[in-house]
């Protein structure tokens, strides 16, 4: 979604990769001079993005898989270097638990990043079903939805 690319750039992202304009794995490997990434986050819950995230990891890299899958994801041996690639797959919604969340809240509180820019829609608690429907179908340029009591 163009709005998401624009927001990423607004928040300081240096590079974006659009899978509709070419092979995302090739693009990421080119951006890293063939090294791969330290961490890949798979948040969509599709086999394609899971495999792509594995394929862009550097040796010793970590795949954080927090997508909700409709079927069991498969680990292709070539992408996993047949188990010899020193790859770590973390499958928890919030790796690092409370400590990671505390650090995240410290970053937000510092004001270094204005996350309010990401809120594109606001709903009252009574309208939470409409908010969920909008967000789940990614309509009307939605990035993040705020629910007010």
pLDDT in tens, 60-86: 899 888 877 778 888 877 777 655 667
CATH of domain 2-90: 3.40.50.720
pLDDT in tens, 10-49: 888 899 999 889 999 999 999 999 999 999 988 888 888 9
Q: Is 15 helix (H, G, I), strand (E, B) or coil?
A: coil
- Residue 22 pLDDT: 93
- Residue 96 pLDDT: 63
What's the pTM? 0.70
Categorize the per-residue pLDDT at 104 as very low, low, confident or very high, splitting at 50, 70 and 90: confident
Span 110-115, mean pLDDT? Answer: 83
Domain ranges of the chain: 2-90, 114-149
Query: pLDDT above 90 covers what percent of the chain?
Result: 35
CA distances from 131 to 109, 115, 126, 135 (A): 26, 19, 10, 6
Return the number of other C-beta atoms located less than 10 Å from residue 114's C-beta.
10
DSSP string across 74-128 = ---TTTTGGGTS--EEE--SSTTHHHHHHHHHHHHHHTSS-GGGGEEEEEEGGGH
Paired tokens of 128: 């939470």
Instruction: Report the chain's C-alpha Rg in angstroms.
Output: 17
């Amino acid at each position: 979604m163009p709005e998401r690319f624009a927001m990423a750039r607004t928040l300081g992202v240096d590079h974006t990769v659009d899978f509709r304009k070419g092979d995302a794995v090739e693009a990421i490997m080119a951006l890293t001079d063939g090294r791969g990434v330290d961490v890949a986050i798979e948040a969509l819950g599709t086999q394609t993005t899971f495999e792509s995230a594995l394929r862009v990891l550097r040796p010793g890299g970590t795949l954080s898989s927090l997508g909700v899958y409709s079927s069991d994801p498969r680990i292709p041996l070539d992408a996993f270097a047949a188990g010899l690639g020193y790859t770590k797959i973390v499958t928890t919604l919030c790796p690092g638990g409370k400590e990671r969340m505390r650090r995240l809240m410290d970053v937000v509180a510092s004001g270094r990043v204005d996350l309010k820019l990401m809120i594109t829609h606001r709903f009252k608690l009574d309208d939470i079903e409409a908010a969920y429907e909008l967000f789940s179908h990614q309509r009307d340029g939605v990035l993040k939805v705020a629910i007010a009591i």
